Amino acid sequence: MNWQEKTVLVTGGTGSFGKKFAETMLKHNHPKKLIIFSRDELKQHDMRTGGFDHDSLRYFIGDVRDLNRLKRAMTDVDIVVHTAALKQVPACEYNPLEAVMTNVMGARNVIDASIDCGVTKVLALSTDKAVNPINLYGATKLVAEKLFVQANSYSGTKATRFSCVRYGNVVGSRGSVVPLFLQQKKSGKITVTDPRMTRFWITLQGGVDFVIRNIERMTGGEIFVPKIPSMKIVDLAKAIAPDCKIESIGIRPGEKLHEVLVSEDDVRNTVEFDDMYVIQPADPMWNYVPWKSEKRLPEDFLYASNTNKDWLTVERLREIVGMSKCEE
């Protein structure tokens, strides 16, 4: 793909992912234009004055709940990366209609605007919490996944194609447990909900690189799942604050003991590659070309954080987070 000829729009572009995506694109891919679409003028101002002030950058204030504003922003856009979402589990539980408006209706608006504006490729970010969801956030992201996959049927003969990436927790992103542990470290005590709890982990840069690669190779309808390591939350706490006391406070409402990225029901439509799994649409109503792989998954396969073969060691985690941060 010749990125130099492409105009790219990122919804939720002032978030942790959006900023790292912008940094990577400007450094390595050099798109013709990169549009940061978000609803917070202060975050856009801070992003611009914090070093993101490039000739190819545009800042567009708007909300994914506003279809007309999305259409205006997507004029002459080639590629959309959809990251905007309400993602804090407790906030979504307390404000369920707000979560639905942003995560579900916002997804619908991105789909409609992309088709109407002739966008070529749309890649949406999803989460392991969309698999067998037990909280509202996961449920809204599951619905969003279904919408984006089936949007390829709505596109019809038009060129617009939609796919998703689905991965786990991002190390150090805003709202993740790592900044919380770093803050708690100052008090000498770290709180974990359950010492048995496991999670998938991916670095922010790893997530961005995975998204960029799959924009280039998507054909429409796939859910791309990276092969990433797991780690126990209690080991994460030990890596960040080895000298602190660890207190178990119990699992919170809407929280799982373990997370899943590829479920038993996904397996029948999933193909495996060296770096990822590709979940293909079960019944595509469009001209879909199936992915082929010589690697076959057993029928009882489950890609879960507690059955994962790849585990993140304390030493490896400390390298990812950064020794300086762990010692603050």
Q: Give the DSSP per-residue string, 9-41.
A: EEETTTSHHHHHHHHHIIIII--SEEEEEES-H
**Residue 101 CB: number of other CB atoms within 10 A?**
16
What residue type is assigned to position 224 of the chain?
F
Cα(22)–Cα(33) distance, integer angstroms:
11
309 contact partners, CB below 8 Å, separation of at least 6? none
Q: What pLDDT, on the 0 to 100 scale, is given for residue 217?
A: 96
| 181, 236 contact by CB (below 8 A) | yes
Q: What pLDDT, on the 0 to 100 scale, is given for residue 328?
A: 37
Q: What pLDDT, on the 0 to 100 scale, is given for residue 321?
A: 67
CA–centroid distance for 178 within its chain:
17
Low-confidence ranges of the chain (pLDDT < 70): 172-175, 321-328
| 50, 57 contact by CB (below 8 A) | no
Q: What pLDDT, on the 0 to 100 scale, is given for residue 183?
A: 83
Q: What pLDDT, on the 0 to 100 scale, is given for residue 323?
A: 41
pTM for the whole structure: 0.93
Of the candidates 63, 37, 18, which has an alpha carbon nearest to the alpha carbon of residue 211? 18
- Per residue in 44-76, pLDDT tens? 999 999 999 999 999 999 999 999 999 999 999
Check 87, 129, 185, 232 and give the catalytic one.
129
Q: What pLDDT, on the 0 to 100 scale, is given for residue 236?
A: 86
**CATH classification code of 3-168+202-227+260-304:** 3.40.50.720
Of the candidates 52, 211, 202, 233, which has an alpha carbon nearest to the alpha carbon of residue 125? 211
Q: Write the burial class of residue 66 (CB in 10 Å: 0-12 exposed, 13-18 middle, 19+ buried).
A: middle
**What does the chain come to in residues?**
328
DSSP 35-67: EEEES-HHHHHHHHHTT---TTEEEEE--TT-H
Q: What pLDDT, on the 0 to 100 scale, is given for residue 273?
A: 95
Cα(88)–Cα(103) distance, integer angstroms:
12
Q: What pLDDT, on the 0 to 100 scale, is given for residue 325?
A: 44
- HSE-CB of 64 using CA atoms within 13 angstroms: 33
DSSP 128-197: GGGSS--SHHHHHHHHHHHHHHHHHHHHTTSS-EEEEEEE-EEET-TTSHHHHHHHHHTTTEEEES-TT-
Q: Write the burial class of residue 205 (CB in 10 Å: 0-12 exposed, 13-18 middle, 19+ buried).
A: middle
What residue type is assigned to position 269 of the chain?
N
219 membership: H or E segment, kind and range:
none
Of the candidates 62, 68, 58, which has an alpha carbon nearest to the alpha carbon of residue 36? 58
Q: What pLDDT, on the 0 to 100 scale, is given for residue 322?
A: 63
Is 146 catalytic? The answer is no
